[in-house]
Amino acid sequence: MGRAAFQESCMSASPTTPPALPDIPTEPTVLLNELRGIDWLQLLETWGLKLLAAAVIFLVGMWLAKRLSAGLERVLGRTHADATLGGFLRRASYAAMMVLVIITALTSLGVNPTSMLAVLGAAGLAVGLALKDSLSNIASGVMLIVLRPFRDGDFVQAGGLEGIVEEVRIFQTRMRTLDNRLIVLPNSLITTAPIINFTAKPHRRIDIPVGVGYDDDLKQAKQILLKIAQDHPLVLQDPAPSVIVSKLSESSVDLILLAWAKTKDFGETKSDLTEAVRTEIIGNGLNIPYPQRDLHVYHHNSDGTPLTDIITKGVADDGDVAKPAV
């Protein structure tokens, strides 16, 4: 085959050149003519009705989701379910119903639900890997709702912080301190640390430590403490109050007054008993010792002679101290 024939065969085998893209009009008049050529009525009939239907589905679905989730919370309240559980299920059910409403609205626009669910699944996996800490908060929130270590209104210590529980949400728990400060704790920090619920039980024990002197009458001190607890109107008589000797300290004999009260009266009762213990112990002639230390300082000369003897001898040699008569 000759060279010319070979070139001719290569040129005939080369792919055809793709067609050029249509020119986009840049002149205003041409653009207006193109817009006039669009059948706006047909476009409105095709997409306007779909958009209107999608908007109606979304608005009606959102209204129904709010009503149904609120109704679920009311039903749980009538069955005397925990308020924390009711609020959590209300928010969770509302979020689930809104997902269904959005999928239904997009389907009415012609979006394929199968493809949309596949995209949402892939996006959910990526978001889950990126927000694993947030997902752990959701799991911890579910555990708090199911296990219920505390309820709304309980005074607890969680995550090293103390406060009154106001609300358990999906991601976080809100607490209020006694001085009215707001604490927002991620749920994962609560479930991974010890939880102390101070108001879970109807009764609490009050411990009042007090020290008396070693020279004081121990039986009298115990009788005084018992009388203080027995005379207080908020102290429960069953279990009966008691006094124990806890420790022999360096400067005192330590006693502890044990008294029981209702949980709601704990703070007031403890304050009253503490004040009464101090007043009655001192009023009955007993002592409440405080740590003290006596320090004795001795000065000596290099030969061991006390410094006080050297000063006294020096003053006597000067004639300032009268010498005894012979």
Where are any strands of DSSP class E within 30-160?
Answer: 155-158
Tell me how far CA of residue 171 lies from CA of 138, 139, 141, 275, in angstroms: 5, 9, 6, 44
- How large is the average pLDDT for residues 116-139? 70
pLDDT band at 1 (very low <50, low <70, confident <90, very high): very low
51-61, pLDDT tens digit by residue? 888 888 889 98
Q: Which of 43-57, 232-246, 301-315 has the weakest average pLDDT? A: 301-315
Q: What is the pLDDT of residue 6?
A: 47
Nearest to 193 by CA among 185, 181, 202: 185
Q: Which of 175-179, 206-210, 272-276, 308-312 has the weakest average pLDDT? A: 308-312
Q: Residue 306, SS3?
A: strand
275-306, pLDDT tens digit by residue? 999 999 999 999 888 776 767 666 666 666 66
H/E stretch holding 279 reads: helix 266-283
Distance CA(143)–CA(100), nearest Å, equals 25
- How large is the average pLDDT for residues 161-169? 90
Distance CA(232)–CA(298), nearest Å, equals 53
Tell me how crowded residue 319 is: count the other CB atoms within 10 A of its CB. Answer: 8
Q: Which of 129-138, 140-149, 162-171 has the weakest average pLDDT? A: 129-138
Q: Residue 62, SS3?
A: helix
Q: What is the pLDDT of residue 100?
A: 86
Model confidence at 34: pLDDT above 50 = yes
Phi first, then psi: give them for residue 325, nearest 5 degrees.
-70, 145
221-234, pLDDT tens digit by residue? 999 999 999 999 99
Model confidence at 20: pLDDT above 70 = no
Average pLDDT, the chain: 79
Retrieve residue 55's tokens.
Answer: 């908007």
H/E stretch holding 176 reads: strand 172-176
Higher pLDDT, 135 or 261: 261
Retrieve residue 10's tokens.
Answer: 């290569």
Residue with tokens 């555990």: 143
